[in-house]
Chain A
Amino acid sequence: MMKLSRRTFSGLVGAAGALSAFGLSGCANAPKVVVIGGGFGGATAAKYVRRYMPDANVVLIEAGKTHFTCPFSNTVIGGMNQMALLERNYDVLANKYGITVVNDLAVAIDPVTKTVKVKGGTVFGYDKLVVSPGVDFKWGALEGYDEAASAIMPHAWKAGPQTVLLRKQLEAMPNGGVVMISAPANPFRCPPGPYERASLIAHYLKNNKPKSKVIILDSKDAFAKDKLFKEGWEKMYDNYIEWVPAAKNGKVTKVDAKAGTLETDFEKFKPAVANVIPPQTAGAIALATGLADKSGFCPVNPNTFESTLHKDIFVIGDACMAGEMPKSGYSASSQAKVVAGAIAAMMMGDKPAAMSAINTCYSLLAPDYGISVSGVYSVQDGKIANIKGAGGVSPSGAAYQFRKKEADFAGGWYASICQDSWG
């Protein structure tokens, strides 16, 4: 028995590898947890399930070989950083945390047999499934804006080639060209995101193309941290940013990518660069599984994030409806920990602890000018809500030193959360 021939040995390793790759455990009763999506929500969930339940068998299914974070992608668009800053891989999750990382697209979830099928054909069984696919776009909901149009007028609302495309268009634009950003109605991924983007584009224009400007055509009349953004714009970008609210006819109703035009109810524009941020839904796999309601997002139990539509499936991040928590990377990763704790408790036959989560969104208006909005959340009257007296936005009228500190902390936050999720 101790004389393992080379053949037996490799056969053995092969068999063991195949078993774990199939998401089955050789150990009796090891809980099987499958996670779909390796972004902020999914990566954090996989890691923290293993931290809370070291003997759990965790499979992380992610379509991309690497993940480009949306956080800090606006700094790439503004020319302050390179794409490499945004790229995360799954090596640490696989090697240090013992997570089986499957680089494939999940194409079908069967909530009855409790299995997930990937494009490559493999089927994974689960005791508990975490779904964190982020958002997908409602192509065509804005007339004329479909996937083909986004190759001409980028959304850059998923980081990657779209980020690069928008950056290239800004670089190629002549001094004097106008940039237009079409901002969607609520709810959407990263409520302050369009305004941070406008700021960092303006920063680039001010230093490189001073005859140019950014115009935000908005489907809303108010936006996240709007007082603080306007204060900073007045200080730094007086002639560079113009915000047109819905009430002043800012809502874009039609797009013609080939002609290069954006239309509101009364006007037609032909900007040099158009960045169209389209309306969004939960990621396609959530819709296909019937995890979303007619809003396009997924209703969940506020204490555990278990779907109210399918048992043993937990939806987190941008795809779920989390009461007052905004759709952010911080929210997604904080929700992932709530889910990891709830799953561990359930698997051990305990009651999950009370829901407790944090969100903070930093926004940069310039490399040395940061602002933030924060919240601490619990379940109140059956809904996820900010704890009274906690959270809120950075002070108005603060001195330069304060804004500078928050810009530094924004970078610190990005380093920490990337490490906390993928490292």
Chain B
Amino acid sequence: MKRYLVAVPVCLGLAFLAVPAKAAPINVMADACSGCHGTDGQSLGAMPGFNTGAPDAKSNAELKKLLRDYRSGAREATVMDRIAKGYSEAQLDAIVDYYKK
């Protein structure tokens, strides 16, 4: 009984914390981008974010187009062109889908 009392609050304690539900999506390739763009794309500073909630948030299609243009060189950039060239178009699309889930 005593053991039971102790064990349950620990589980509850963990479940209580502000963490997402189980089986969180894992996307290491996409999360590498957040070193510049912030966790979940929520940039705090000068880096552009891909905030999902903001009224001026870009759509999936717009972000995908931007990334393809960085990759091809059609869009000028300071660094995004150098980064986007490391991925295929399909990979870039998948990254956008992960952030805008």
Contact = CB atoms under 8 A, between A and B. Distances in A.
A39 to B, nearest CB: 14
B90 interface: no
Contacts of B26: 52, 341, 344-345, 353
Given A16-B13, A26-B7, A96-B17, A420 B35 contact: yes
Contact of A406 (B20, B78, B85): B78
A402 B22 CA distance: 44
A330 B31 CA distance: 12
B35 A412 contact: no
A248 to B, nearest CB: 32
Contact of A405 (B11, B21, B78, B82): B78
B6 A16 contact: yes
A27 B11 contact: yes
Interface in B35-76: 35-39, 42-47
Contact of A360 (B10, B36, B42, B46): B36
Given A15-B6, A98-B19, A408-B46, A358 B24 contact: no
B61 to A, nearest CB: 24
Contact of A416 (B37, B84, B87): B37
Contact of B86 (A390, A394, A414): A390
A27 B9 CA distance: 10
A408 B47 CA distance: 9
Interface centre among A20, A344, A412, A416 (most CB of B within 10 A): A416
Contacts of A413: 35-36, 45, 47
Contacts of A19: 6, 10
B20 A54 contact: yes
A43 B55 CA distance: 32
A175 to B, nearest CB: 35
A64 interface: no
A415 B31 contact: no
A149 interface: no
Interface stretch (A113-121, A130-138, A288-296, A331-339): A331-339
B78 A51 contact: no
Nearest to A53: B24
B28 A412 contact: no
B14 to A, nearest CB: 6
A169 interface: no
A369 interface: no
Given A341-B26, A360-B35, A360-B36, A27 B14 contact: yes
Nearest to B44: A415
Nearest to A403: B78
B38 A420 contact: yes
A423 B24 CA distance: 19
B82 A390 contact: yes
A233 interface: no
A186 to B, nearest CB: 23
Contact of B24 (A25, A51, A57): A51
Given A54-B19, A98-B17, A360-B79, A417 B11 contact: no
B36 to A, nearest CB: 5
Interface string A14-28: 011001100001110
A25 B13 CA distance: 11
Contacts of A375: 86
A340 B5 CA distance: 32
Nearest to A354: B29
A419 interface: yes
A176 interface: no
A34 to B, nearest CB: 16
B45 A414 contact: yes
Interface centre among B32, B35, B82 (most CB of A within 10 A): B35
Interface of B: 5-11, 13-14, 17-22, 24, 26, 28-29, 31-39, 42-47, 78-79, 82-87
Interface of A: 12-13, 15-16, 19-20, 25-27, 30, 48, 50-55, 57, 96-98, 330, 333-334, 337-338, 340-341, 344-345, 353, 355-358, 360, 372, 374-376, 387, 389-392, 394, 402, 405-406, 408-409, 411-417, 419-420, 423
25 contacts: A12-B6, A20-B13, A26-B6, A26-B7, A26-B10, A27-B11, A51-B19, A51-B24, A54-B19, A98-B14, A333-B35, A338-B28, A345-B26, A358-B83, A360-B36, A376-B83, A376-B86, A389-B86, A394-B79, A411-B45, A416-B35, A416-B36, A416-B37, A416-B38, A416-B47
Given A26-B9, A415-B38, A419-B42, 14 more contacts: A12-B9, A16-B10, A16-B13, A26-B8, A96-B18, A98-B14, A374-B79, A375-B86, A389-B86, A406-B79, A409-B47, A419-B39, A420-B34, A420-B38
